[in-house]
Amino acid sequence: MQKDFKTFEEAAGVSFNDLELLRQAFTHRSYLNEHRGESSGHNERLEFLGDAVLELVSTHFLYTKFPQHAEGELTAYRAALVNATTCAEVATELGMNDYLLLSRGEAKDTGRARGVLLANAFEALIGAIYIDQGYDAARDFIGAHLLPKIDEIIKKRLWQDAKSTLQEKSQESQGITPSYAVLEETGPDHDKQFIVGVYLSDKLIAKGSGKSKQEAEQSAARAAIEEKGW
| Choice among 44, 47, 51, 217 that is catalytic | 51
Cβ-Cβ contacts under 8 Å for 34 (sequence gap 6 or more): 103, 104
Q: Beta strands 193-200 and 203-210: pairing type?
A: antiparallel
Buried b (16+ CB within 10 A) or exposed e, 50-77: bbebbeebbbebbeeeeeeeeeeebebb
| Choice among 123, 132, 215, 217 that is catalytic | 123
217 is catalytic: no
Distance CA 83, CA 146 (A): 11
Distance CA 35, CA 26 (A): 14
Amino acid at 195: I
Distances (CA, A) of 216 to 2, 84, 92, 184, 194: 34, 9, 19, 11, 6
Residue whose C-alpha is closest to residue 130's, from 6, 21, 3, 7: 21
Distance CA 33, CA 117 (A): 17
Sheet of strand 193-200, all strands in order from the earlier edge strand to the far edge: 179-186, 193-200, 203-210
123 is catalytic: yes
Dihedral sign, Cα of residue 129, residue 118, residue 188, residue 108: negative
Distance CA 151, CA 28 (A): 32
**Residues annotated catalytic, as ranges:** 51, 123
